[in-house]
Chain A
């Protein structure tokens, strides 16, 4: 309350106390009571109208629409004529801004939704939400800010991939044609004996029952743990389309994670990037399951390009993670040098298969140089098809 208001209030009180005229007392008391009631109303409403968020954490892929939900509740016994609820979408694009006008009955709860779209990968916050209102006479306007913000993690965009898997460890989850990878624990069918079949595969009970030789047939399945090696050194990317290609690399990494997760493979990640503004390179051990994949996607969401140009293949050895034999190493990089190839050769010699995804204009020259040694795939700059042979 301002000093002038207090002074006016005192003058009105003096008039009420000292002047013996009914109409004068009526008028002055009317002012006092109306102002008092308005003040009380405003205080009660500002205190007992609560705004909170339905979810404190939201996850979405890039360019995927999300719904922000706010819960506004009137816990007071007084009705509210109208309130303005305003939510700040911050970095996000909102076609319909989070700006609402609502009316609340005593004890009423309303859920307000508005869509936003994430244009950028990363971790962001939405809010704080704001309530603006006043008493019916507009004498005491108030503003109230919600304490909690909503965290939004925007994963990289995920696009469909079609990759062939021909090598790996037996007894996995990927179905292949090669019968070398037959899993004796995964029975498929019985079939008639053919010359050349091993005698230990004969199903003697079935053969005795039918009078013919029958052999067991098993599913050929292989297991290929995947390790993604992501080069996000900003200076390795040419200046032209740098941001776009870095995002494209992150998209490819996320697509690989989702692809191999759908094949129920174990995935690991090593990136030459910055995570949470730290200097240490983000590393995730090879592991399986949805939780692990989610952790990898979150890591990719929060990752930023590292300044400078470092040898990204060094992280492969410095990270200290166990790389099993027959691991499939997926390398995502814009450049490939002799040094990089030397380290990748070392890995291959340890029994891993190496696949290189090249971004940018240099992929033609690199393919010509190292194409015979490694399997090199080019990454398209635009479109829903990420790679081409």
Chain B
């Protein structure tokens, strides 16, 4: 049994358990609320798509970026920038979606703002929960690798962080309870209005309730574990797992019992409760003056409203000045432009920082992308050639009759010859090597050794070596590579090819006396 907090334990909490809690707590809550609001207000045109994928994506983004930015110790501004980017992406997605649906007359509507608000809430809730649980991660990392009295002393040293963690865990628990309370309140409202939630609404509410209880259990476990750490005892992972299994068992047993008991009918009518409440209210005698005062206030409010409406009717609407209208329009456009520019600078300016540019230079994205593109193109060409070849082969196989065996054999030999067809890369390599060799020939001719077509590369280079003995070895290497490239079907390693080019460059600097051009004595 491990007696101290291991790296694996920390990593598991940092990359799995805490992010999952921070994603699913708000997700289940927002989905339940969304479904129940749809049930309670069926007249409102709701966002037609289901929110779950969008919210899940926002939650995952927050968790992943939160972990990455925490590693880089990014500031709060980076998170705000990230939120703006998330909202911008979400807006872009929704814009495209609505534009496709509603055509060019697209405008901002509540059905667009609603999912945006939901995404914003999901991100914010996730962020709050995740950053709260981050305090626990920091505490655990401070205690990692320590056991017994060392663990006790470390926790004492980190007492501020420990206190903060406990406070944060309690806050998260309070948030979970509030979420549960809100969902139950919406369910009560649905029951009073006699609205039946959809199956997704039922499922999300049930999952939210069970998940909330499980989460409360986990938060209690975290607090208990921290108290145990204070007395030098570390709770191993297998004990935690066992406790989680027990919690799930309790929830499963309770769920099983409750499914059997819950029904769409109440044991007592709701009217009985209202009658009881009325009876209770009648026990408290409110003073008559109080009632009179309320009525007087209501009357004053009604009078004021009437007066205001009458005033609106009697006063004519002012005719707008075209210059003022122009000014207002200009101002509106200015504000919009400023906002857009500000947002652009806020999101894009960090990308233009020196660090980022240096990183870009280091990565060489253009070259890398060109390389990738070239590889992709060559692959595509090869694939296309292969496909056409295969198609041609298959067609010819079907067409050939049995009597034309000889022709078939010839065609298969031809196809074998075609199979030896060189790849594009090979051809490119051959072209480059050939050009370099031509440059060598040119150099040789400049030295007074003419090249004849009947000369093999080996013969010509041996003549060259006789004139320039210093480059004999290099010439033999060049010939070797040249022949391999030209008379083989395989690709030569890029390292050897670059060496080939380098050798030719060096050779071209040599003179018959064996000195380089720089050292050549001029007459």
Binding site for B on A (CB under 8 A): 14-31, 33-34, 37-38, 41, 79, 81-82, 84, 86, 96-97, 99-101, 103, 134-139, 141
Contacts and interface: CB of A to CB of B under 8 A. Distances in A.
Interface in B193-231: 196-197, 201-202, 205-206, 209-210, 213-214, 216-217, 219-221, 223-224, 228, 231
Contacts of B217: 136-139
Contacts of A101: 228, 233, 235-236, 239
A103 B1 CA distance: 13
Contact of B205 (A17, A27, A99, A136): A27
A31 to B, nearest CB: 7
Interface in B246-277: 246-247, 249-251, 253-255, 257-259, 261-270, 272-273
Given A17-B267, A20-B270, A22-B263, A137 B247 contact: yes
Given A18-B269, A82-B235, A84-B228, A23 B206 contact: yes
A354 B192 CA distance: 103
Given A23-B197, A25-B261, A138 B232 contact: no
A103 B270 CA distance: 48
Contacts of B209: 26-27, 30-31
A109 to B, nearest CB: 18
A138 B220 contact: yes
A86 B228 CA distance: 11
Contacts of B249: 136
Contact of A22 (B184, B257, B262): B262
Given A18-B272, A20-B191, A137-B247, A27 B183 contact: yes
A84 B229 CA distance: 11
Contacts of B192: 19
B4 to A, nearest CB: 13
Given A23-B206, A30-B254, A134 B273 contact: no
B190 interface: yes
Given A29-B262, A82-B239, A103-B242, A21 B233 contact: no
6 contacts: A15-B184, A21-B196, A22-B263, A23-B205, A84-B228, A86-B231
Contacts of B216: 137-139
B232 A22 contact: no
Contacts of A81: 239, 242-243, 246
Contacts of A21: 187, 190-191, 196, 264
Contacts of B262: 22-23, 25-26, 29
Contact of A134 (B187, B224, B232): B224
Contact of A82 (B190, B232, B243, B257): B243
A19 B270 contact: yes
The 7 closest A-B pairs by CB, nearest first: A138-B220, A137-B217, A136-B246, A81-B243, A21-B191, A25-B262, A33-B254
B270 to A, nearest CB: 5
Given A84-B231, A136-B247, A138-B221, 19 more contacts: A14-B273, A15-B188, A18-B268, A18-B273, A19-B266, A20-B270, A21-B190, A24-B191, A34-B250, A82-B242, A97-B232, A101-B228, A101-B235, A134-B220, A136-B244, A136-B246, A137-B217, A137-B250, A138-B217
B145 interface: no
Contacts of A29: 257-258, 261-262
A17 B266 contact: yes
B148 interface: yes
Contact of B257 (A15, A33, A136): A33
A79 B246 CA distance: 9
Contacts of A96: 148
Q: Pick from A16, A22, A97, A103 the residue with the most CB of B within 10 Å.
A: A22
Contacts of A38: 250
Given A27-B187, A82-B239, A137 B213 contact: yes
B235 A99 contact: no
Contacts of B267: 16-18
Interface string B143-159: 00000100000000000
Nearest to A24: B187
A377 B415 CA distance: 117
A34 B254 contact: yes
Contacts of B213: 30-31, 34, 137
A136 B242 CA distance: 9
Nearest to A34: B254
A81 B254 CA distance: 19
Contacts of A86: 231
A144 to B, nearest CB: 16
Q: Pick from A20, A24, A99, A135 the residue with the most CB of B within 10 Å.
A: A24
Contact of A24 (B188, B228, B268): B188
B380 to A, nearest CB: 55
Contacts of B258: 26, 29-30, 33
Contacts of B187: 21, 23-24, 27
B232 to A, nearest CB: 6
Given A27-B184, A82-B239, A20 B266 contact: yes
Nearest to B223: A138
B206 A19 contact: no
A24 B184 contact: yes
Contacts of A28: 184
Contacts of A82: 235, 239, 242-243
B402 to A, nearest CB: 74
A160 B213 CA distance: 66
A137 B222 CA distance: 11
A34 B209 CA distance: 11
Nearest to B249: A136
Contacts of A139: 216-217, 220
B17 to A, nearest CB: 16
A30 B255 contact: yes
B12 to A, nearest CB: 18
Contacts of A33: 254, 257-258
Nearest to A133: B224
Contact of B250 (A26, A27, A41, A84): A41
Nearest to B214: A137
A27 B210 CA distance: 8
A86 B258 CA distance: 38
A24 B197 CA distance: 10
B36 to A, nearest CB: 9
Given A27-B209, A30-B209, A79-B246, A99 B266 contact: no
Given A34-B213, A99-B233, A139-B220, A26 B268 contact: no
A28 B235 CA distance: 33
B278 to A, nearest CB: 14
A17 to B, nearest CB: 5
Nearest to A102: B239
A112 to B, nearest CB: 13
Nearest to B206: A26
Contacts of B205: 23, 27
A139 B217 CA distance: 7
Given A34-B250, A37-B253, A136 B264 contact: no
A86 B231 CA distance: 10
A34 B256 CA distance: 11
A47 B246 CA distance: 19
Interface in B71-85: none
Interface in B264-301: 264-270, 272-273
A82 to B, nearest CB: 4
Contacts of A141: 224
Nearest to B256: A33
B35 to A, nearest CB: 10
Contacts of A37: 250, 253-254
A141 B227 CA distance: 13
A129 B388 CA distance: 84
A99 B231 contact: yes
A38 B219 CA distance: 15
A20 B232 contact: no
